[in-house]
Amino acid sequence: MMQRPGHDQIDRGAEWYGQGLSFQCTQCGHCCTGPTGFVWVSDDELRAIAQALGMAAAQVERDFTRLLHGRRSLTEVRTEHGFDCVFLDRDSQPGKALCCVYQARPAQCRTWPFWPENLRHIRDWQRAARTCPGINQGPLIPIESIRIQRDATPA
């Protein structure tokens, strides 16, 4: 089993996760709920979501997004868990939280947990792991894949 670098083992001149990181989604939904926030969605992503839902893009934009800071974000639904993404389904499979538009989900969702703010330092990764049970579990994701996802994360 690969050892994770400790604070005293970090090479400040290189990415601390150079050996890769383990992650496997547990379908817990924690990344899709919590305090109110935003999931940025581009026009292309809106069209893909619309196609997945069999709806017109204009209807998806009207019914499932809101304008925030001059950009489009998916809307949220207040639940006992917090503010769930409008596309989070907690009912169809007991014990699972599934995305209704998984194949068309926005880049922000596809790139979790490899967001730049989670990769700045091992402390940030471990902080994210406190709410995401899939972090540090499952297969080792190579650094090349992590970089691609990190760099595809919308700012």
Q: pLDDT digit string (tens) for 51-93?
A: 999 999 999 999 999 999 999 999 999 999 999 999 999 999 9
Q: In this structure, is residue 5 part of a structural domain?
A: no
Q: In this structure, is residue 76 part of a structural domain?
A: yes
The model's confidence at residue 129, banded by pLDDT at 50, 70 and 90, is: very high
Which long-range CB contacts under 8 A does 25-28 form with residues at least 24 apart?
A: 25/134, 26/133, 26/134, 26/137, 27/96, 27/97, 27/98, 28/97, 28/132, 28/133, 28/134
Full domain range(s) for residue 65: 17-152
SS3 per residue for 73-106: EECEEEECCEEEECCEECCCCCCCCEECCHHHCC
116: helix, strand or coil: helix
Q: In this structure, is residue 85 part of a structural domain?
A: yes
* pLDDT at 155 (0 to 100): 83
Q: In this structure, is residue 50 part of a structural domain?
A: yes
Residue 2 in this model has a pLDDT that exceeds 80: no
The model's confidence at residue 14, banded by pLDDT at 50, 70 and 90, is: confident
Q: In this structure, is residue 45 part of a structural domain?
A: yes
**In whole angstroms, what is the distance from residue 141 CA to residue 21 CA?**
5
Domains held by the chain: number: 1
Residue 11 in this model has a pLDDT that exceeds 60: no
Q: In this structure, is residue 59 part of a structural domain?
A: yes
Q: In this structure, is residue 7 part of a structural domain?
A: no
Q: In this structure, is residue 53 part of a structural domain?
A: yes
Q: What is the pTM of this model?
A: 0.85
* pLDDT at 9 (0 to 100): 39
* pLDDT at 13 (0 to 100): 53
